[in-house]
Amino acid sequence: MNGSPVQSFGFNVFNDRAMKERLPRHIYQQLQEAVSGGEKMDFHVAEIVATAMKEWAVSKGASHYTHWFHPRTDLTAEKHMAFLTVDEYGLPLDSFEGADLIQSEPDASSLPSGGMRSTFEARGYTAWDPTSPAFVIPAENGGTLCIPSVFISNDGTPLDMKTPLLRALSKIEEVTMRILKMFGNRNVKWIRATMGAEQEFFLIDEDMAAKRPDIEYCGRTIIGAQTPKGQQMEDHYLGSIPPRVLAFMQEVDQRMCSLGVVLKTRHNEAAPCQFEYAPQFTEANLAVDQNQILMEQMRQIASKHGFRLLLHEKPFALINGSGKHLNCSMMDSEGRNLLKPSSSQRKNIQFLTLVSGLLLGISRYGGLLRASIATPGNMRRLGGNEAPPSIMSVFLGDVLTHILDRVEEGLPEDLPSKAFIDLGLNRLPDVLKDNTDRNRTAPIAFTGNKFEFRAPGASQSPAGPMTMMLSLWAWGLEKMANMIDARIGETDVADAALDAIRTAALESRNIRFEGNCYSPEWHEEARRRNLPIAHTTSEALALFLVPEHRELLSGLGIFSEREILGYYETRLEQYIKTIEIEMNVMEGMVRNGILPAITKQVAAEGTALGFVPEGIRNGSPSFWQEHIGELYRVKEGLLETVGKLASLHESLEFLDLEKRSETLTEKGLPILDSIRKMCDAAETLVSDEFWPYPRYSDMLLSR
């Protein structure tokens, strides 16, 4: 594939253009109807689509196909099948039928299900999601056709991240449609939630990463003394991109372009070796898939360029971590952004109604947002000085806050049109455009024509947080619609909506905060407001189990009660396993690397000290001996604490999930922290010659 980005855009995607070219017209139409949710797909249609898709994929060099799906690991899963088949006469041919396209049965019994599957059946199946186009990932010796799919157990219980997302998407579409109709939008055919995920990441030298067991197994450094120069000079952010990184980025840009993703921005982030990509936003289901593709392609391309990609939320202590900012809004079939204020007053009341729905949802169910971003990696990032705290609040900016305050005070009853002018609703777009000052400390912010959810972690699948956001938004919108409905007839829709907005403004006071969310005052204020404050991952995950949260999700049909329990368990298991792996790695690094290094240093110092003539040493303990003493004390301390770590580990074996997670949080994490402190002290005392691992100062100079 050559040529300009415009020519190569979507080259590897079985997109609308490819389908139009390769499918008979009536088949193409039937497929489109199935995609837009109306019709069930005829098997005959699937047969023809499969043949066309296979021929297209083979023409792009694909030798295999796979159903590509999102298990609950935050990664994607694939099991490749060869097109090549030998028929009953021994003749080779490329085979891919309708049934292969629609459904597949990977033996996925080792993927996490939170106990969902064992109670029923061990098997699950994947089913084609035709709303996200198939694509070919090229490779030197033959590419793979990837078919975006859902993953479901045999009794129909979803085992993936995509199914709940699709359910939330259709729910929010349904209720927003209802609101738009109330406001007299007759021509709107569909509504899509939109999403654009800003992705932060680190790149360090592959050679160095390979020498650090913590990076190899945990994706982050679990020990490491500070560098002489961190990010205090603030000279990395938006600085010129180092040439090797730029070469990597150019290849990622090209690859993603061929996969139908436009990466709009690329730049240096705040920490050394940290960078960011932001794609052009698109429909949310597709945007989630695209983010997963981006993460995987970056990983592969980084290694070609001699880099290791780190998506961990906090790869280096005391240096900014990486997040994933989810920008979201809704778009209608006329291509309008529904969160974009307009010059029409009526449209602006509609806009405020949609915003109010989200405020209501967060104010009541913000705990679910907190739960959705609870991961072992994000735990180390949230509440640092680069990331929002773990309290969910919304920043609206001066203009919207002013409007909501005025609506709250009450409107002049007889003069609704004057009220619009008083509120500034007739010039909202101009005001909002000028009002670009941003509060970067809020987990959720309105940024002019979209909301930005800044708390998700860099390595997370956006599907989880998006599902929760859309669910509570849909709930809030339904409330708004009901309030408006109840008054229509006695007054007009704008008036009824303003009343509903007033209720939402009042009810959402608890989660609206315009100040500095990093400040201790906000934490106190949040406590006074009774907002859910979950510091640890286990506390945050437990928010999934709050009865009213479960009722919301099951009421909307996103997760059944049983499914939410399974989801919760999967996340909790992920947390437990991560900490346990970190404990194993810590023990190994200390016993096999750091303790022997200290021994070598002590031996070298002791031997050298022996060469110093008696007369000079004059009997009293010298600084030098004190230095050896320090090494000795660190070594003793490490031996003792690593012993504690090992016995804690043994004691976990018979605990149930919750007890295990609690023990790890309360006992395991503090032990890991104290071991780290000792290792970092040792690192400053041991020479380069003996220190077994690349240091922060080496790794963070990767260019």
Does the footprint of ligand ADP cover residue 333 (CB under 6 A)?
A: no
Distant-in-sequence, close-in-space partners of 449: CB < 8 Å, separation ≥ 6: 329, 337, 339, 340, 341, 432
Regarding 278 and contact with ligand ADP (CB under 6 A), the answer is: yes
Residue 279 and residue 287 in contact, taking contact as beta carbons nearer than 8 Å: yes
- Out of 76, 285, 290, 327, the only residue in the binding site for ligand ADP (CB under 6 A) is 327
Q: Show the tokens assigned to 351.
A: 């806009």
Residue 337 interacts with ligand ADP (CB under 6 A): yes or no: yes
d(CA 130, CA 16): 12
SS3 305: coil
User: Minimum distance from CB of 23 to ligand ADP (Å)?
Assistant: 30
Which stretch in 326-334, 402-410, 471-479, 645-653 sits in contact with ligand ADP by CB under 6 A? 326-334
H or E element, residue 476: helix 463-487
**Which three-class secondary structure string do you get for 254-270?**
HHHHHCCCCEEEEEECC
- Does position 167 interact with ligand ADP (CB under 6 A)? The reply is no
Nearer to ligand ADP, 194 or 601 (CB): 194
- Our CB check for ligand ADP shows the closer of 436 and 618 to be 436
Please state, in angstroms and rounded to a whole number, the distance separating the CA atoms of residues 348 and 427.
10
What's the rounded Cα separation, in Å, for the pair 220 and 214?
Answer: 6
Examine residue 328 and tell whether it contacts ligand ADP (CB under 6 A).
yes
Q: For residue 198, state whether it binds ligand ADP (rule: CB under 6 A).
A: yes
Q: What is the DSSP string of 150-181?
A: EEEETTS-B-BSHHHHHHHHHHHHHHHHHHHH
Judged by CB under 6 A, which stretch of 157-165, 195-203, 427-435, 470-478 contacts ligand ADP? 195-203
Q: Which residue has the tokens 């800003």?
A: 198
Q: Cβ 605 to ligand ADP, closest distance in Å?
A: 53
* β-bridge mates for residue 175, sequence order: none
Closest contact distance (angstroms) between CB of 197 and ligand ADP is 7
Instruction: Spell out where 208-320 has E strands.
Output: 263-268, 274-279, 282-283, 307-310
Find where tokens 């913000």 sit: 366
User: Which residues does 557 contact at the CB level (< 8 Å), separation at least 6?
Assistant: 167, 171
Helix axes 284-304, 162-182, angle to 10 degrees: 140
Among positions 85, 154, 280, 417, the unique one binding ligand ADP when judged by CB under 6 A: 280
Burial class (CB in 10 A: 0-12, 13-18, 19+), 477: buried
The answer to whether 185 contacts ligand ADP (rule: CB under 6 A) is no
Query: Looking at 165, 166, 195, 556, which residue binds ligand ADP (CB under 6 A)?
Result: 195
Query: What's the CA gap between 670 and 649, in Å, rounded?
Result: 13
Residue 196 in contact with ligand ADP, rule: CB under 6 A = yes
Cβ proximity to ligand ADP: between 332 and 683 the closer is 332
Length of the chain: 703
Cβ closest to ligand ADP, residue 223 vs residue 259: 259
Q: How many CA atoms lie within 13 A of 104 on its CB side?
A: 26
Shortest Cβ distance from residue 131 to ligand ADP (Å)?
A: 17
- Segment contacting ligand ADP (CB under 6 A): 40-48, 323-331, 560-568, 609-617? 323-331
Between CA 77 and CA 104 the distance in angstroms is: 13
Kindly state the smallest distance separating residue 282's Cβ from ligand ADP, in Å: 8
Give min distance, CB of 279 to ligand ADP, in A: 5
- Closest approach of ligand ADP to the CB of residue 400, in Å: 16
Rank residues 358 and 541 by Cβ distance to ligand ADP and give the closer one: 358
With a CB cutoff of 8 Å and minimum separation 6, the contacts of 245 are 203, 275, 307, 703
Nearer to ligand ADP, 157 or 329 (CB): 329
194 binds ligand ADP (CB under 6 A): yes
CB of 325 to ligand ADP, least distance (A): 7
Q: Would you give the binding string for ligand ADP spanning residues 435-464, x where CB under 6 A is met?
A: ------------x-xx--------------
In angstroms, rounded to a whole number, what is the distance separating the alpha carbons of residues 131 and 166?
10
Query: In angstroms, what is the minimal distance from the CB of 278 to ligand ADP?
Result: 4
Q: What span, in angstroms and rounded, lies between the C-alpha atoms of 222 and 587?
A: 11
* Contact pick of 329, 441, 508, 601 for ligand ADP (by CB under 6 A): 329
Residue placing its CB nearer to ligand ADP in the complex, 266 or 535: 266
The helix/strand/coil state of 401 is helix
Local structure of residue 221 (DSSP, 8 states): -
Nearer to ligand ADP, 204 or 252 (CB): 252
Pick from 279, 315, 321, 366: which binds ligand ADP (CB under 6 A)?
279
User: How far is residue 369's CA from residue 468's CA, in Å, rounded to a whole number?
Assistant: 6
Residue 236 interacts with ligand ADP (CB under 6 A)? no
Asked if 298 contacts 307 with a C-beta cutoff of 8 angstroms, the reply is no
| Segment near ligand ADP (CB under 6 A); pick from 246-254, 272-280, 374-382, 677-685 | 272-280
Beta strand 62-69 with 143-153: parallel, antiparallel or unpaired?
A: parallel
Cβ closest to ligand ADP, residue 119 vs residue 280: 280
Tokens of 95: 């085979």
Residue nearest to ligand ADP (CB): 196
Whole-angstrom Cα distance, residue 513 to residue 524? Answer: 13
Q: Is 34 helix (H, G, I), strand (E, B) or coil?
A: helix
Closer of 328 and 652 to ligand ADP (Cβ):
328
Q: Does 281 bind ligand ADP (CB under 6 A)?
A: yes
- Which of these, 402, 472, 479, lies nearest to 444 by C-alpha position? 472
- Using CB under 6 A as the binding rule, whether residue 76 contacts ligand ADP is answered as no
Q: Binding to ligand ADP by residue 291, rule CB under 6 A?
A: no
- Asked if residue 675 lies in contact with residue 222, where contact means CB atoms within 8 angstroms, the answer is no
Q: Would you say 362 or 672 has its CB closer to ligand ADP?
A: 362
Site stretch for ligand ADP (CB under 6 A), options 274-282, 577-585, 629-637, 661-669: 274-282
Euclidean distance between CA atoms 664 and 648, whole angstroms: 9
Question: The tokens 């003996």 sit on which residue?
Answer: 690
Q: How far is the CB of 181 from ligand ADP (least distance, A)?
A: 22
Instruction: Report the 10 Å Cβ neighbour count for 226.
Output: 16
**Please, which residue, 370 or 454, has the CB nearer to ligand ADP?**
454
Which of 48-56, 275-283, 354-362, 396-404 is the region at the interface with ligand ADP (rule: CB under 6 A)?
275-283
Identify which of residues 166 and 494 has a Cβ nearer to ligand ADP in the complex: 166
Residue 176 found at the interface with ligand ADP (CB under 6 A): no
What lies within 8 Å, CB to CB, of 547 at 6+ separation is none
Q: Applying CB under 6 A, which part among 164-172, 194-202, 473-481, 600-608 lies near ligand ADP?
A: 194-202
Residue 432 contacts ligand ADP per CB under 6 A:
no
CB closer to ligand ADP out of 470 and 564: 470
Quote the least distance from Cβ 450 to ligand ADP, whole Å: 4
Q: Which residues bind ligand ADP (CB under 6 A)?
A: 194-196, 198, 278-281, 327-329, 337, 447, 449-450
